[in-house]
Amino acid sequence: MTDWSWLVPLPVVLPLSGAGLTLALYRRPRVQRVVSLVTLTLVAVVAAALLVLADAGPVVVEIGDWAAPVGINLVADRLSALMLTVSSVVILCVLIYSLAQGREDGERFAP
């Protein structure tokens, strides 16, 4: 069986890297929209994968291979994976709606 514990930190890392990339591309709003859409789609896919993985039991990752009292543990159980999946799908729907709404507004408002 393959160890899928590397998926646990991705819902934190992906949005942070996507935000940094959109900040770097501040002069290109269309590319920013594509980056945000791709990032949130990836987060939703990872959240759904974590939901499937957490069905067998909690998935635990020790960041930096340090033990619990000293290090940081990330845990994905059924409830946290379900909440992550629901929130990422809702955020993705809101992003798609806001991207479609921005086209109707034209150039009157900031991107």
Whether residue 110 has pLDDT greater than 60: no
Model confidence, pTM: 0.85
The CA distance from 29 to 32, in Å, is 5
pLDDT digits (tens, 9 = 90+) for 98-107: 988 866 655 5
Residues 6+ apart with CB under 8 A from 15: 39, 40, 43
HSE, CB side, 13 Å, CA atoms: give it for residue 38. Answer: 11
Model pLDDT, residue 91: 97
Report domain extents, the chain: 5-104
Percent of the chain at pLDDT > 70 equals 89
Q: Average pLDDT of the chain?
A: 89
pLDDT digits (tens, 9 = 90+) for 42-86: 999 999 999 999 999 999 888 887 777 788 889 999 999 999 999
Confidence of residue 4 (pLDDT cuts 50, 70, 90): confident
The CA distance from 44 to 39, in Å, is 9
- Average pLDDT of the residues in 2-16: 91
Please state the length of the chain.
111
